[in-house]
Amino acid sequence: MGVLETQLEVACKLYNTLLHAEQEEYEKNKHSMSRNEFRQLALDLRRRNPEFQALHSQVTQQVAERF
């Protein structure tokens, strides 16, 4: 698998993880997460998860801004 395919796969996993977090937040508190909360969560996930560390921090933030 090429580098770009790997990056895309990891970015998709990050997006799906953020989507799941948003769904849980809405079910618990009946409100959506803000753009800053998404960005911070994405960066925290990147720090804690070695798989997400393959993404540059700017890419991580751009994935979070898709919401």
pLDDT in tens, 15-40: 999 999 999 999 999 999 999 999 99
Instruction: Classify residue 54 by its DSSP letter.
Output: G
Tokens 């998404």 belong to 38
* pLDDT of the residue at 20: 97
Overall pTM > 0.95: no
pLDDT-based confidence at 67, cuts 50/70/90?
confident
Residue 1 clears pLDDT 90, i.e. is over it: no
Poorest-pLDDT segment among 8-17, 19-28, 45-54, 58-67: 58-67
Find, among 19, 11, 12, 64, the residue nearest to 42 by Cα. Answer: 64
Spell out the domain ranges in the chain: 3-64
